[in-house]
Every structure is written in C-alpha cells, then in structure tokens.
Amino acid sequence: MVVDLPGPRSTRVRVVDGVSFDVPRATTVGLIGESGSGKTMTARAILGLPPEGATLAGRLLWHGEDLLAADPERRRAVRGREIAMIFQDPLAALNPTQRIGRQIGEIPRRDGLPRAEVRRRVVALLDRAGVPEPERRMRAHPHELSGGLRQRAMIATALAGEPALLLADEPTTALDVTVQSRILRLLAHIQAADGLAMLLVSHDLRVVSHVAQQVVVMYAGRVCERGPARDVLRHPAHPYTAALVRSVPAVRTSTAPADPLPGAPATPSARPTGCAFHPRCPLARARCRDETPQVRETARGRWSACHFSEEVPGS
Ligand code: SF4
C-alpha cells in the first residue's frame, strides 16, 4: 500500500511506501517505529479514514476483497463494523456533546434493535470493557469520566460492531502507567477471547513485546523488518530494530545499559537516498546510499529490508 499526502508547492509526499503485511485471525501484530515512521497513517488507511487530501494506491485485501477498489458505500459498511479502531485520545475521538451510552449504541440502533435491547447491549459492552456501574456510566458525557474509563468506553464503542479486526493506535499512551497495563491486559483478553485480528500501533517496544505475537517495524514510511515478535526482538535482522531494542532496557536480553538511538529519524519529505536508515546505521556502506534495500525473507517467516542483515549483531 502507498499513501501520498499534499506537500509544499503542490508536491506530493509519500508517507507510506509499499507497506505490506498480514494481520492473521486470532493474532496481535505490533506495528512499531519512531514517530513519523508512517505507522498511524498505515492504520488510518486500513480503516479507510486517511487525512484530507491523501491518495491511496496498491491493494488492501480484506478476506480476498480489495477495499481500495471497493465503492465508498462498501468501505463505509466495513468501517466501524468488520474493522474498528481504538484511537490514542478518546477525548478527541468521542463526541463531547453525546452521552457515552448513545455513542456505544449507535450501531445497534442503526440495526433497528428495540430501545430496551440497545440499552442491554450498551450495558453489556461497558461491562465487558471493565467499566464499573455501567447503567450509571452510560449516562455520562466523555469529559465526566477519567482517562482510563474514557478509553474503556472507546473500547466498548469499537466492540459494538463485533469487528473481526481491531486497530489500536497507541491505546495507552495518554494514560498513567498503572492504567496502561490494565488497558493492555483488557485488550489482550478481548483479542484472545474473541479470536480477533488486532493491529497494535505503538512506539513503545515494551508494550508490543508483552502483547504481540508478530511485529512489523517501520522506518520513514517503509517496512524494515517483520516476523514473530519473540524472534525479531531477541535476534533483530535489521540494524534499526537492533537499535530500537538496545534503546529499551526491559526488552533487552543482556544486562548492559540502555543505548539511545543515534541521530534523528528520517522524515518522508526528506528521505535519504537508498536505505533511509543509512545516516544512522553503524553497518552502512556505499551500496546503502545508492540502492534501496527490498524486503526479503532472511529465514522462515522472517523478513528484513537490509543489504547486510546477516551482519546485524545477534541476528
Ligand atoms: Fe544499514 Fe545498509 Fe542495512 Fe540500511 S541497508 S540498514 S544502511 S546496513
């Protein structure tokens, strides 16, 4: 998939460039990378809600159907039902003027269910999302709830359409640490219980290492590595993944101190030639500046976009 955004002086900036991966049923895939890597844009494109002025190309296969080629009505029908999203900031995503219960009940109401049944479903969804006293809380407006309860209300809203794919974009970033782990446990429980496919977008490797079975690592709008989470995080086959892992003490396998990532992330509007990571890469050489590495299978189920992946320490 490719996503272009309007740039300065009528140019187009490619913010997602040839990104390709699967999110299998009953699996959590962690989509990781620094800010500006294109991970949120990828999730929004999957949901069918790219920013104003964006153009999408390529294919977005949903049970064999290409949603990018589907008509707008079909895409609207999939959004919020078969594919739902939990946003980073529930205060911005929820309607501030509507009671929580009304927002969660939107899909059952659209389905023409009787009022009492809609109410029963809303209470059950809030209860499932771990909101205490759901009958009372459903009458609250978003600003009347704590950050953690708001995020739970958003999870209930996302579940209302009984989605098969849940997109969670930095779902715990705005919360304090104790609430973060409870929300993550809740999401992991719902994903496993319902056999959902879940794409967890996060800049936080610790979050992803706890929840995801597969990971996709993005840099400057492209995939640089993907594979089983445990293998990728223990034995990275791309210098960028290795640097990310070294920068986070909790996911390291050695006891050496954490090592911050060198340099600043490349931006899609000023992407270096060849491998976009080359200005920051300790293994870079002339070929890396001239030739863009393609994603290739380096071992069974492991994919890396590095000319010299076999030289990555610990790979
Ligand atoms: Fe580093 Fe070259 Fe591999 Fe890019 S292709 S990650 S610059 S070694």
> Which of 217, 240, 261, 281 should be mutated for ligand 1, with most atoms under 8 A from CB?
281
Rounded distance from Cα 299 to ligand 1 centre (Å): 18
What percentage of the chain has pLDDT greater than the value 70? 97
Q: What's the total number of domains in the chain?
A: 2
Please provide residue 28's backbone torsions phi and psi, each rounded to the nearest 5 degrees.
-100, 125
Q: Which atom of ligand 1 approaches the CA of 293 most closely?
A: 5
Whether 239 and 170 share a structural domain: yes
Residue 254 has pLDDT above 60, yes or no: no
Q: Are 168 and 198 in contact (CB under 8 A)?
A: yes
- Binned at pLDDT 50, 70 and 90, residue 251 comes out as low
Whether 198 and 281 share a structural domain: yes
Domain residues for the domain of 147 are: 90-162
Whether 148 and 74 share a structural domain: no
Q: Which atom of ligand 1 approaches the CA of 311 most closely?
A: 8
Q: Are 32 and 210 in contact (CB under 8 A)?
A: no
The set of protein residues with a Cβ atom below 6 angstroms from ligand 1 is 238-239, 275, 277-278, 281, 283-284, 288, 293, 306-308
Question: The domain spanning residue 235 has which CATH number?
Answer: 3.40.50.300
Mean of the pLDDT values across residues 17-34?
Answer: 96
Whether 120 and 71 share a structural domain: no
Q: Which atom of ligand 1 approaches the CA of 239 most closely?
A: 6
Whether 303 and 289 share a structural domain: yes
Closest Cα to atom 4, ligand 1: which residue? 275
Q: What global pTM score does this model have? A: 0.94
Rounded distance from Cα 269 to ligand 1 centre (Å): 20
Whether 289 and 204 share a structural domain: yes
Residue 51 has pLDDT above 70, yes or no: yes
Q: Which atom of ligand 1 approaches the CA of 309 most closely?
A: 3
**Angle CA 208–173–16, to nearest 5:** 65
Closest Cα to atom 7, ligand 1: which residue? 278
Tell me which of 142, 162, 182 is where a domain ends. Answer: 162
Rounded distance from Cα 266 to ligand 1 centre (Å): 14
Taking each helix axis from N to C end, the angle separating 147-159 and 115-128, rounded to the nearest 10 degrees, works out to: 130
Residue with tokens 């104790």: 178
Whether 197 and 291 share a structural domain: yes
Tell me which of 111, 138, 162 is where a domain ends. Answer: 162
Whether 176 and 145 share a structural domain: no
Whether 240 and 116 share a structural domain: no
Whether 67 and 95 share a structural domain: no
Q: Which atom of ligand 1 approaches the CA of 281 most closely?
A: 1
Mean of the pLDDT values across residues 253-259?
Answer: 66
Whether 105 and 189 share a structural domain: no
Whether 193 and 50 share a structural domain: yes
Residue 258 has pLDDT above 80, yes or no: no
Predicted confidence at residue 129, as pLDDT, reads 97
pLDDT in tens, 284-309: 999 999 999 999 999 999 999 999 99
How many Å apart are CA 234 and CA 241, to the nearest integer?
A: 10
Mean of the pLDDT values across residues 75-102?
Answer: 94
Tell me which of 162, 180, 198 is where a domain ends. Answer: 162
